[in-house]
Amino acid sequence: MMNSSLNHIETMIGQMILVGLRGDSPEDAKIFFESFKGLPIGGVILYDQNVTMSPPSSHNIHSPEQVIAFNKALQSLSSVPLLIGVDQEGGQVNRLKESYGFPPSKSWSELGQINDIEETQSHSNNMASTLSDHGFNLNFAPVLDLSVNPDSFIAKKERCFSNNPVSVSTHAELFILSHLAQNVVPVCKHFPGQGSAGGDTHEGIVDVAKTWSETELKPYQNLMDQDYIPAIMTSHLFHKGLDPELPATLSSKILTDLLRNKMGFEGVIISDDPQMGALANHYDLKTIIRLMIHASVDIFCFGNNLFYDPIIVQKVHSTIVELLDEGLITITQIEQSFNRTMQLKKSIGLI
């Protein structure tokens, strides 16, 4: 195979990788890129706390000035412009904290209790502007999970807007359009709906077969029908009625048959962190990647903040090459994901 062809395959594989890193300075950004010796990546995710340490220590985000310089350095070192993502839902899932010098933000649950269009619009505009001004172009929000179980992991952290799918759709639309107006990709989550789940997929398998209902798909369908969703994050939940064998992130029945074919989603699918216990405790990396690719997941979000793996980029690259060489995945599958991701980057003016 010619070098140019190999380089193109490497580039396409790289766009499937979004990864967490250690450090907070332009020098740390340089060390990070040098660590995987020129292999391309598609994006990074930043956190304000390193939870692999006990107690958690400060991480990638300390202040507005620091994160602007860090994100600028990260972009300058990448051969293809990066998606630079963050979990900025507001409330308890808030990486750009007021205590670091960023503007205050409300939780999605608090906005749901206020339930005012103007308040949601104003809040969303401010959040999107803050992200854009500090070098972020991807936000893992809004949460479309319905507040149907007050004891769910999501609801307890005030991450659900409402139990009403129409209300969730209406306010999420404002959130989404505010972000897109600032060239920030909003990532709707956690498909196919985690609002009824009693457990936490960070820890292990969560079975929602007895609690989940099709109503939890309605916010996604409502927004998809208007072509408002550019990207969706998967959940690792298990539902034997939807797929008797695999959790959602690994399931072609849930992501290809249901989300893409039945519901008509043509955008980018991003995995929730494969290092979470629901996957990592039950499957090896090669199996996880193979199944995600067959399920039409486009971007693998390895947060590297539940378990730190300094060579995860090299591992994912080599695993995908190995799967291609063994005929367990096809180059067409890689190309389809690459094209969707490039289109996403183009839509916000990155390329």
Packing angle of the helix pair 3-14, 312-325 (nearest 10 deg): 120
pLDDT at 4: 54
Query: For the domain that residue 150 is a member of, what is the CATH number?
Result: 3.20.20.300
User: What is the residue-wise DSSP string for 200-265?
Assistant: -TTTS--B-TTT--GGGGHHHHHHHHTT--SEEEE---B-TTT-SSS-GGG-HIIIIIIIIIIT--
pLDDT of the residue at 52: 87
Question: How much is the pLDDT for 2?
Answer: 40
- Could you give the CA distance from residue 251 to residue 254 in angstroms, rounded to a whole number? 5
**Structural tokens at position 102:** 């960023």
- Residue numbers of the domain that contains 296: 3-347
The pair of structure tokens assigned to 53 is 């340490």
For residues 326-345, average pLDDT = 98
The whole model's pTM is what?
0.96
Residues 309 and 57: their CA atoms lie apart, in Å, by: 17
- Hey, is 117 helix, strand or coil? helix
| Average predicted confidence (pLDDT) for the chain | 94
How many structural domains are present in the chain? Answer: 1
26-35 vs 64-77: helix crossing angle, rounded to 10: 30
10 Å Cβ neighbour count for 65?
10
Task: List, for residues 81-131, the tens digit of each pLDDT value.
Answer: 999 999 999 999 999 999 999 999 999 999 999 999 999 999 999 999 999
Quick one: average pLDDT of 35-50? 96
pLDDT for the residue numbered 5: 64
For range 71-89, the mean pLDDT: 97
Q: Which residue has the higher pLDDT, 51 or 141?
A: 141
- 55: confidence class by pLDDT, cuts 50, 70, 90: confident
pLDDT value, residue 201: 52
Percent of the chain with pLDDT over 70: 96
Distant-in-sequence, close-in-space partners of 282: CB < 8 Å, separation ≥ 6: 205
Does residue 41 or residue 197 have the better pLDDT? 41
* Weakest-pLDDT range from 163-172, 195-204, 278-287, 334-343: 195-204
| Token code pair at residue 314 | 């090299």
Per-residue model confidence (pLDDT) at position 207: 86
pLDDT band at 6 (very low <50, low <70, confident <90, very high): low
Predicted pLDDT of residue 1: 39
CA dihedral 165, 170, 171, 175 (to 10 degrees): 120
Total residues belonging to the chain: 351
Element (H, E) at 187: strand 185-191
Averaged over 168-174, what is the pLDDT?
98
Per-residue pLDDT averaged across 334-349, rounded?
98
Q: Does residue 277 surpass a pLDDT of 90?
A: no
pLDDT for residue 349: 98
